[in-house]
Amino acid sequence: MSILVAGAGGFIGGQLVKSLEEDGHTVRAVDCKPAHNWYYRSATAENLIADLKEKDACSRATKGIRKVYNHAADMGGMGFIENNKALCMLSVLINTHLLLASHENSVERFFFASSACIYPNYRQKDTDIEALKELDAYPAMPEDGYGWEKLFSERMCRHFREDFGVSTRIGRYHNVYGPYGTWDGGREKAPAAVARKIALAVITGQREIEIWGDGEQTRSFMYIDDCIKGTQMLMNSDFSEPINIGSDEMVSINQLVDTVEEIAGIKLKRSYKLDAPTGVRGRNSDNTLIREVFGWAPSVKLLDGMEKTYRWIYDQVKARAEGRQFVAAL
């Protein structure tokens, strides 16, 4: 099957390309980043560099394609999305033009990678939050910028399905992490940032770690393997409503640091940057619906996933400290 992965040069997109090829599919991989900045670049996929915010680029990318996975977006961790709201919202052009091109080129199925950031802020004000159900999205008050773009694009997917017959699927991701992802530079998310800071402490001998906020804010974190499995399971199903794809193992950021310290065999003094961006106070995935529909939910424990993630990031940090470049192959 000919499949388009938009955002294939990114963390999730790259691992999706690898998984699809292992399953025997023919993949067209598209990203706007230069080839040397792709997280994974298949030797056998049709790799294209194109800006999918442009309608013509989307038309070319979807020709001859049966399925589209849209993971293309300008995004990052909380520090990025709170300070780049306009850039995040411009990603709506990608989904708009990909949906139009998919309709014009008779694409059979379209997956949109949405986010838990679509959930209303008023439901996420406490650390001991009630897990978020799919129906909690409305009345809407999502994360400003990034969350609004994702929610608007969800509605477009719905109406392209209802009005034009484009068979859309919507997965609401909750904090995806794992090896081979962004671990520095400002776009990294909490698991990678914590792993990098602790790896640096181990390598340099420093004994302090800076934590954004008071460390009591809560989240759930989904390992990349669960993300890829849930994504393909949804894409290949007949279920067309938005659905959570996320772990329901909620922890505080302090507990996340505890976990990585345990893996690294180190204990650090903690300093708290109380004026740093932290996002909502608490967030967790309610997995009732995904269990009812698929008899499955993300299940990789944080300790197990962070063990693999920390080891990979440690190797990156150590290589940089020694003046060399190290990126283990996928």
Neighbour-count burial of 163, counting CB atoms closer than 10 A to its CB (0-12 exposed, 13-18 middle, 19+ buried): exposed
Q: What stretches of 272-324 show up as alpha helix (H) in DSSP?
A: 288-294, 302-321
Angle at 299 between CA 127 and CA 170, to 5 degrees: 80
Partnered with residue 271 across adjacent β-strands are 210
The helix/strand/coil state of 132 is strand
How many Cα neighbours within 13 Å face the side chain of 94?
29
What is the pairing mode between strands 250-252 and 218-220? Answer: antiparallel
Is the Cα dihedral 153, 154, 157, 162 positive or negative? negative
- b vs e for 221-259, b when ≥16 Cβ sit within 10 Å of the residue's Cβ? bbbbbbbbbbbbbbbeeebbebbbbbbbbbbbbbebbeb
Catalytic residue among 39, 40, 119, 146: 146
What is the rounded distance in angstroms from the CA atom of residue 296 to the CA atom of residue 15?
20
Q: Is the peptide bond before 298 cis (omega within 30 degrees of 0)?
A: no
Q: Is 146 a catalytic residue?
A: yes
Q: Which residues are catalytic?
A: 146
